[in-house]
Amino acid sequence: MRVESSVTSLSWIPQDAVTGLPRLAFDAGVAHYDPPPPDVLTDLDELRKGDRFRFANELRAWVEVADGRIVRCGQSGHGHINVTKVGVGRFGVVFPPTAFPDRRTAENLSPASVRFVQTAGGRTGAPVPRRVPRPPTSRSAPRAAGDRQDDHRSGSGSRGEVLLLPDHGCRPDQQVGR
């Protein structure tokens, strides 16, 4: 028997989520907030084309079970980083991102369970001004994410986990962190 599961995390910038110096670009209309993602993700590529998210981590995993034991397993999916669009009126510029390699692990927890982990991230296409604790007090540099396990501050990398247990009863439409 084959058991499949997937998880997708999206990173987007909700209305009024940006404060301080970076907010100036949003208030001036040079940068834009993102509308909330739909309740059910059906077409991630369509959301990307519509500039509806900044980063996404799509993890798909499967196990084959025989006599109550996992005999084979595998995973697919990958991180997605959207372009950065800035502009005023009909004038705009698109900055391509730099994706870091996805990190994947699959850990056999027992003969009947496997945990799949995928970390995805990269550099956005345009620098984001931010306050720094030393002179100069503002710096414009691309933020990196996903290149270190502990880099959760920028929100631009994501880690997805899928734990597959035969007959575990999880619904594929469960949401976390909404």
Domain count, the chain: 1
- pLDDT, tens digit, for every residue of 46-86? 999 998 998 999 999 999 999 988 999 999 999 999 998 88
Domain for residue 169, yes or no? no
Domain for residue 21, yes or no? yes
Average pLDDT per consecutive 10 residues, the chain (178 residues; last block may be shorter): 90 86 85 88 90 90 90 91 87 90 86 88 75 57 38 45 47 41
Domain housing 101: 2-164
pTM greater than the 0.75 cutoff: no
Q: Could you give the CA distance from residue 39 to residue 132 in angstroms, rounded to a whole number?
A: 36
Domain for residue 177, yes or no? no
Q: Could you give the CA distance from residue 108 to residue 37 in angstroms, rounded to a whole number?
A: 33
Q: CB burial class (10 A; 0-12, 13-18, 19+) of residue 149?
A: exposed
Classify 48 as helix, strand or coil: helix
